[in-house]
Amino acid sequence: MLGMSGNFRNGDRAASNSAIDCMFLEKPHLVFVLISALPCPTRGVIRLTLMRHVFISFLAALLSTCCVQMGVADSQITLYPKEPLQRIDGFGASDAWYASDFRWYSPDQQTRLLNSLFSTTTGAGLSLLRHRIPPEIEPSAGVWDWTQDSDTVWLTQQAVARGVSKVWSTAWSPPAWMKTNQNVDNGCALATNHYQDYATFLATYVQHYASAFGVNIAGVSIANEPDQTQPYESSNWTSQQFHDFIANNLIPTFQTANLKTQVIMPEFSGWSDALAAATLADPVTANFVSIIASHDYWLGLGPFTDAQAANKTVWETEVSNLGTDDPTIADGLNWAQVIHHTLVDAQANAWHYWWLYSDVSDTSGQSLISGDPSTNSFTTKKRLWTIGNFSRFVRPGSHMLSLSSNNPEGGVYVTAFIGPDKTIAIVAINANASSTTLTVNTNQQRLPSVFEYRTSATENLRLAGLIPVRQQSFKASLAPQSVTTLCLQPTGLRPPR
């Protein structure tokens, strides 16, 4: 504090200058009162300090104004919590063909591997799990072999224990004896005289999982990529064939068995619901089908207007790299942006990568984790963690929120969600090479603080800080090439997960 004596030592003068600077910023009127009360020699020194401060303040204001005029300003968004958009059912991936690998790891490594995928405290928190329905469980009519799926049953139980909310299954092919080519591979159709056998096959699969394993199969998809003929398990369907099978066989079979399992179709290889057209055009079959699903390997993203008109849920159910595996943050940023556009542009309710896990020998980038049980080792890819910026914090039953902008500046992409507990999660992607500041106007009362979770080249969903909220707004610094989830809790200061 300033002394009232006129005898200034050199150190005192520096201290007084600092004090004047601080007081001028906070209480300028008090500075003038103090100056007038000081002895003349001291008053002269203080006047010089004041003139210096005014000049510096003027330059700072001028530079700030110039910067704003040149466009160097914070990005800003406004949340509209009372304007919810589509419901979010979750984020997931598939265990097809790889469930057995998990069981070959040591118990400690099993725990780390499973937690990386499904834990809502230390992992990505995936909430959806997609199975393959093995055609070999019914190798001939009426003969069942459930040992073919024992590894998948174990993995399902582990995933559900860690928070997976919905397990669902896709049939790549009906059993060979039901198909026109008598082979699960190389495409071809379900023989019309086996339509009822296939409906019974799907119903029995759901019933047995519940009665024998205690696993609820929430949904079944009739076919995987029915537009594709592949050398592996595959089957071909037309739009009319889907309709006729559902109308004449699947509906009565599920109704007789009193199954509430959701029916999913058509899982086209590109983003399209064309093969659902005949089913959606018939009120009876449209009412029975719950989810219109598609993969995203080609075609542009956009809303499924026919599905929306029929009030159907829309899921993206498979996509991945198909060439070179890039485990870095560059690839992670790419997949975060894919999720962003799938939710914003296609208005989807759920999103899935292809494989949870693959063998280390697969270098095509189709999985979130690759590993080698023989060496008891595995490696997570950055895309797992940037997907986790969504999946860990945007839990099933959340709704996406309206924003003033989902793309407030070039290379910055923002989505926001409100959960059943009223927690708000904002996912902000900064694909740029420099940091940026995001100002968020929350339109929310009583939000004490914001928890910040970041994935970058050196971080995996790290709790990076606690940001105060002032007058319903806050500023978040988005690190270069990062994905940040900002968690707003209306009650208390406890981290959400």
Which string of DSSP letters, residue by residue, matches 425-443? EEEEEE-SSS-EEEEEE--
Within a domain: 297? yes
Number of domains the chain contains:
3
The alpha carbon dihedral of 455, 457, 463, 469 has a sign of negative
Looking at the predicted structure, is the pLDDT value of residue 41 above 90? no
Residues 94 and 177 both lie in one domain: yes
Q: What pLDDT sits at residue 329?
A: 98
Within a domain: 1? no
Please give the mean pLDDT across all residues of the chain.
87
The number of residues making up the chain comes to 497
Residues 95 and 180 both lie in one domain: yes
**CATH code of residue 161:** 3.20.20.80
Domain residues for the domain of 42 are 10-69
Displacement of CA 324 from its chain's centroid (Å): 23
Residues 167 and 276 both lie in one domain: yes
- Which amino acid makes up residue 163? G
Domain boundary among 396, 411, 438: 396
pLDDT, tens digit, 9 for 90 and up, residues 279-313: 999 999 999 999 999 999 999 999 999 999 999 99
State the distance between the two ends of the chain, measured CA to CA, in whole angstroms.
45
Residues 350 and 208 both lie in one domain: yes
With cut-offs at 50, 70 and 90, classify the pLDDT of residue 430.
very high
Residues 392 and 433 both lie in one domain: no
Sheet holding 462-468: strands in order across?
Answer: 462-468, 449-455, 482-488, 424-430, 412-418, 398-403, 75-88, 436-441, 473-478
Within a domain: 361? yes
Residues 323 and 423 both lie in one domain: no
With cut-offs at 50, 70 and 90, classify the pLDDT of residue 497.
low
pLDDT, tens digit, 9 for 90 and up, residues 242-284: 999 999 999 999 999 999 999 999 999 999 999 999 999 999 9
Q: What pLDDT sits at residue 496?
A: 61
Within a domain: 422? yes
Residues 375 and 406 both lie in one domain: no
Within a domain: 493? no
Looking at the predicted structure, is the pLDDT value of residue 60 above 60? no
Residues 431 and 392 both lie in one domain: no
Within a domain: 15? yes
State the angle between helix axes of 40-69 and 10-26 in degrees (0 to 180), rounded to the nearest 10: 50
84 beta partners: 401
With cut-offs at 50, 70 and 90, classify the pLDDT of residue 74.
confident
Q: What pLDDT sits at residue 492?
A: 54
Within a domain: 496? no
Neighbours of 212 (CB within 10 A): 10
Residues 37 and 125 both lie in one domain: no
Domain boundary among 372, 396, 420: 396
- State yes or no: cis peptide before 283, omega within 30 of 0: no
pLDDT, tens digit, 9 for 90 and up, residues 110-158: 999 999 999 999 999 999 999 999 999 999 999 999 998 999 999 999 9
Residues 131 and 279 both lie in one domain: yes
As a whole-number percent, the residues of the chain with pLDDT over 70 amount to 83
Residues 141 and 290 both lie in one domain: yes
- Give the closest residue to 337 by CA, choosing from 395, 269, 282, 407: 407
Domain boundary among 396, 424, 444: 396
Within a domain: 5? no
**CATH code of residue 454:** 2.60.40.1180
Residues 56 and 154 both lie in one domain: no
